[in-house]
Amino acid sequence: MPHPAIIPLEQHPAGWNRFAISSGRIKLLYSLKDRAISSTGIEPSGSIPVDIALGAAIVLVAVAIIASAARGGHEVPVYPSYYPHEIAIETMPPDRAASLLQDSKIQAYVDSEPRFSGEVPSSIRYVEALGSLVVVRLNPASPLVQEPASACAVVDMIVRSLADREGFIFHPYPVTPLHGDYLVYADLALAAKARYAKMAGESATPRHLRVKADGRLAGLVAAEWTTEAPDWDAAIEAADAAALVASAMTSLNGWLGPPWVKTGWFHADKILAEAIDDPGAAGSADTARERLQAGDYRGVVERMNLQRALMAALTQGCRKRVAGYTVKRQYFSAEFTEGIENIGFDSIAGFNSPMFMRTVKLKNFPWNGWLSLGIDADAKAAWNPIGGFTDRFGRLVWGAVGDPALLQAPYDSGWMLNRVADVQSSAVR
């Protein structure tokens, strides 16, 4: 069997070799045993080896650091910021993941739902996170939407038709209860839902409305509207929430991304800003966005008013409208003694987050242990700490290997301290 092509990208200052691997599965050995610890800091007594070879999985081995040199007669141990001492990550399809979960061969399946052949065992549990925002987008070339009034009538009609559909949660507002800043807009979200409830008795259905939808969303479209023709009037699309976060993520100077990367207003802006066709609304959105990103406000009240002003501008038009959202389930084994416990997860990314890696604990070990994870994504992106690890597999790996100063709060839109402390200085008396 030929070896996959290995393309060296750069040499990390700490001695890490980074590679882009075009195909195949890989095995990574990550060892810190050649570090010497002193009471004044960490002094390298050798390089940090990273050996990459073909194998059945990616294996991250974080070896406990034992002091080989200490000053003042005191050992200063340094531990990894997670429980397992070995983490294996393997690409696998959903049907194989189901059998491995039931046999406790893997402890969790990341990003996708496994396909169980029968009833799910009681030892298999799941957590829920935000899946996708369901968006109705009008075709600007459609003759039915050339006037603003007719465009709004068409989009309102389609959104209203989705209210009783199964397969998603009807929520005609861009910020969901799974966003950490939802309470800022809760009254606006309820008002939007009430507005569509009042439309229930209205009837002005175009006879030849053509709506297309792909994948799982196809079942949301009324049969008489369904089309696959190129001259469609509207499309029902999914905007993956985790992908919206990942698109703005970066590893730089201790940060994983801009401060607003998990906020509802940021996601709404990414989805709806391009569809604003009113110059006044576009200007208002630009002003509010720029002030939010620059921190140009005095206190929480003014910030919240800017967020609401941005949302008002984004939701004013009818070319794009959020109709609701989906929830994704991520499964794990809670079996005793081979399962896991003490699980933290992100409200948007689910298990594919640094928080999961830093909280999950093996039931049969008070510390350490072998954690095995499955994911239905190949490792394709460059393994580069700056600008790399951009695919789903890479983000999961970096969630374990990376050690940023700040981590995203799991159920909020803010951040929490990881490798820094919030110390208030005081004058010496």
pLDDT one-digit tens code per residue, 314-331: 999 999 999 999 999 999
- Is residue 19's pLDDT more than 50? no
**pLDDT score recorded for residue 384:** 79
Q: What is the pTM of this model?
A: 0.80
C-alpha 93/C-alpha 107 separation (Å) is 15
3-state secondary structure of 416: strand
User: In 51-168, which residue ranges form alpha helices assigned H by DSSP?
Assistant: 94-102, 148-161
C-alpha 134/C-alpha 117 separation (Å) is 29
Say if CB 157 and CB 150 are below 8 A apart: no
C-alpha 252/C-alpha 241 separation (Å) is 22
Strands (DSSP E) along 230-310, which ranges?
234-240
**pLDDT score recorded for residue 416:** 87
Range with the lowest mean pLDDT among 11-15, 374-378, 406-410? 11-15
Say if CB 95 and CB 82 are below 8 A apart: no
- Is residue 1's pLDDT more than 60? no
pLDDT one-digit tens code per residue, 187-235: 999 999 999 999 876 655 556 899 999 888 999 999 999 999 999 999 9
Count helices and strands in the chain by DSSP H and E runs? 9, 19
Give me the half-sphere count of Cα atoms (radius 13 Å) on the Cβ side of residue 20: 12
pLDDT band at 83 (very low <50, low <70, confident <90, very high): confident
Instruction: Give the closest residue to 412 by CA, choosing from 247, 295, 263.
Output: 263
**pLDDT score recorded for residue 333:** 97
C-alpha 292/C-alpha 184 separation (Å) is 14
- Is residue 345's pLDDT more than 50? yes
Buried b (16+ CB within 10 A) or exposed e, 14-49: eebebbbbeeebbebbbebeebebbeeeeeeeeeee
Mean pLDDT over 263-269 rounds to 98
Say if CB 392 and CB 353 are below 8 A apart: no
Instruction: Give the closest residue to 30 by CA, choosing from 11, 47, 49.
Output: 49
Angle among Cα 93, 91, 15 to the nearest 5 degrees reads: 170
- Is residue 5's pLDDT more than 70? no
C-alpha 40/C-alpha 76 separation (Å) is 9
- Is residue 255's pLDDT more than 50? yes
Instruction: Give the closest residue to 314 by CA, choosing from 292, 346, 298, 347.
Output: 292
Say how far residue 378 (Cα) sits from the centre of its chain.
17
C-alpha 352/C-alpha 345 separation (Å) is 8
**pLDDT score recorded for residue 211:** 97
Angle among Cα 165, 167, 173 to the nearest 5 degrees reads: 70
pLDDT one-digit tens code per residue, 282-318: 999 999 999 999 999 999 999 999 999 999 999 999 9
Range with the lowest mean pLDDT among 104-113, 130-139, 244-253? 244-253
Strands 211-213 and 234-240: parallel
- Is residue 59's pLDDT more than 70? no
**pLDDT score recorded for residue 43:** 29
For the chain, the average pLDDT equals 80
Mean pLDDT over 49-67 rounds to 32
DSSP per residue, 189-221 = HHHHHHHHHHGGG-----TT--EEE-GGGGGGS
DSSP per residue, 302-355 = HHHHHHHHHHHHHTS-SSEEEEEEEEEEEEEE--TTTSEES---BTTTBTSSHH
- Is residue 127's pLDDT more than 70? yes
